[in-house]
Amino acid sequence: MAEGVAVRMVDLRNPVPPLADVRDHDRVRVYAFLGDQILGFAEIDNWGQPLSARRVREALVAALGVKPVAALVNSSEGVAYAHLLEELRRELLSEDGDQDRMQNPETLDPGVSASVVVATLDRPEDLRNALAGIRAQRTSRRVDLVVVDNNPTSGLTEPVVADFPNVLLVRETRRGLAYARNAGIRASSGDLIVMTDDDVSAPPDWLEKLLAPFARSDVAAVTGNVLPLELSTEAQRLFEAYGGLGKGFQRIEAGAGWFERSRSAVPTWCLGASANAAFRTSIFAEREIGLMHEALGPGTPAGVGEDTYLFYKLLKAGYTLVYEPSAFLWHRHRRDMASLRAQLYSYSKGHVAYHLTTLLEDRDLRALFYLAGQLPIGHLKRLRWRLRGQSPYPVSLSLVEIGGNLMGPFALLSSHRRVRREGATARYLQAPKSLQEEQS
């Protein structure tokens, strides 16, 4: 019986192909590219049947907002393709700055080095796949690979790392993603630090696309898109309905002005995540930014928030963050409903913990307006959409989120107690360049 959502890719520089290998699925998500630029996606009901090229083209035209043209139905493949490509080109170049960026793409000096930090917790096969993708990157710069084992006593990570020469293995026994990533930062020697997870797959051009915006001196951080590797189970599809990990297909630049203009809480969660992010190493040595907040994030009672709070601090310090959707990774979402509920519960606790942190540590009163108004109103809207049949998102998951939000303050308090018990990581003092080169 056909079920689930297949994930496929097409490059619109070439004639759109039929999709014959989707008989095991009742729906297909097709991501459209124009060369190395991702445009968006269309979802097509196929009910276990192959999809013709014409069906795929029509769905993409509708989803991407390009005006339907008669050539797609009545003309030859070549004429139809020419019309579609021209419409897409005009639409892509209509945004301010896009034409200049496509004609003069950013390039980063290959002499700028990078360290890729992968924190892992007992997922050896996922880690092996992630490391293979990172090692296959097309780049001429020096790239160091740092793996942080957040449970070294299990013995699951070290044998995997041993299969990849010249990978630095760091052991961090204090449980938590912020602890692990901070250990990776302190062990890194690159000019830039790239963070990713152990359950992602990287296309070979991912790293260079992610690093390119650092050609501008004002850019302190770059985040990339995160796309679902598969949508086979109900839990995976509902996570996408929740919002997934990707933040869309339009480039975003956020700086001090964006930070100040936010009337409610600063929506740093709209700027990506540290599952696909890069930072100038120097910012972690600045007192107003520092390392990741170890009372926030996965592995703590608070759940998440360590990356969004880091984004908050660097924007507050006057730096620019760029969300570059073309620098995408494929992510394997959780497959079962129990794991999804636990994930959303943690996300919801961490969301409140993040806002309370900006309120208590940064005296940002905008967090109060968000927590008292915008957040509950958002829940009410989602419940209303579901009850009216306008959303596939179930009420039960909305209630999980609300429960997590209510537990946020208590979770944050528990996290702070845990940091006092486990100890905080010492302040990061960036090594001089000569010392970094000697260590490498």
What is the pLDDT confidence band of residue 12, given thresholds at 50, 70 and 90?
A: confident
What pLDDT shows up at residue 70? 36
Q: Which amino acid type is present at position 182?
A: N
Q: Are strands 320-331 and 37-45 parallel, antiparallel or unpaired?
A: unpaired
Of 204-213, 364-373, 414-423, 425-434, which gets the smallest average pLDDT?
A: 425-434
Q: Enter the tokens of residue 87.
A: 């419409």
What pLDDT shows up at residue 322? 97
Phi and psi at residue 286, to the nearest 5°: -80, 135
What is the CATH code for 114-334+426-439?
A: 3.90.550.10
What pLDDT shows up at residue 67? 38
For the chain, what is the mean pLDDT?
88
What is the pLDDT confidence band of residue 90, given thresholds at 50, 70 and 90?
A: low
What pLDDT shows up at residue 263? 83
**What is the Cα–Cα distance from 187 to 277, expressed in whole angstroms?**
17
Tens digits of residue pLDDT in 262-305 = 888 999 999 999 999 999 999 999 999 999 999 999 999 999 99
What pLDDT shows up at residue 434? 37
**What is the Cα–Cα distance from 422 to 430, expressed in whole angstroms?**
24
Q: Which amino acid type is present at position 397?
A: L
C-beta separation of 215 from 109 below 8 A: yes
More reliable by pLDDT, 309 or 85: 309
**What is the Cα–Cα distance from 75 to 73, expressed in whole angstroms?**
6
Annotated domain spans of the chain: 5-103, 114-334+426-439, 341-422
What pLDDT shows up at residue 436? 42
What pLDDT shows up at residue 438? 38
Q: Mean of the pLDDT values across residues 185-211?
A: 96
Tens digits of residue pLDDT in 54-72 = 888 888 878 876 433 433 3
More reliable by pLDDT, 88 or 53: 53
What pLDDT shows up at residue 437? 45
E-assigned strands of 64-151?
114-120, 143-149
What is the pLDDT confidence band of residue 177, given thresholds at 50, 70 and 90?
A: very high
Tens digits of residue pLDDT in 239-257 = 998 988 999 888 999 999 9
**Burial per residue of 352-375, b for 16 or more beta-carbon CB atoms within 10 angstroms, e otherwise:** bbbbbbbbeeeebebbeebbeeeb
What pLDDT shows up at residue 317? 95
More reliable by pLDDT, 36 or 308: 308
Cα separation of the two ends of the chain: 54
What pLDDT shows up at residue 351? 97
**What is the Cα–Cα distance from 324 to 251, expressed in whole angstroms?**
5
* C-alpha distances out from residue 8 to 33, 78, 136, 418, Å: 11, 22, 21, 44
| DSSP per-residue codes, 270-281 | GG--TTEEEEEG
Tens digits of residue pLDDT in 91-144 = 555 555 555 555 556 789 999 999 999 999 999 999 999 999 999 999 999 999
Q: Enter the tokens of residue 51.
A: 């999809």
* C-alpha distances out from residue 315 to 101, 194, 369, Å: 23, 18, 20
The pLDDT > 70 percentage for the chain reads 88
Q: Mean of the pLDDT values across residues 215-236?
A: 94
> What is the residue whose two structure tokens read 């961490």?
350
What kind and span of H or E run contains 403? helix 395-422
**What is the Cα–Cα distance from 143 to 193, expressed in whole angstroms?**
10
Q: Mean of the pLDDT values across residues 301-326?
A: 96
Q: Which amino acid type is present at position 345?
A: Y
C-beta separation of 113 from 190 below 8 A: yes
What kind and span of H or E run contains 98? helix 98-103
**242 Cβ neighbours under 8 A, 6+ residues apart:** 344, 393, 397
| Integer Rg of the chain from CA | 22
What pLDDT shows up at residue 345? 97
Tens digits of residue pLDDT in 379-420 = 998 888 888 888 888 999 999 999 999 999 999 999 999 999
- Count of other CB atoms within 10 angstroms of residue 298: 22
| DSSP per-residue codes, 100-117 | HHHHS-----TTS-EEEE
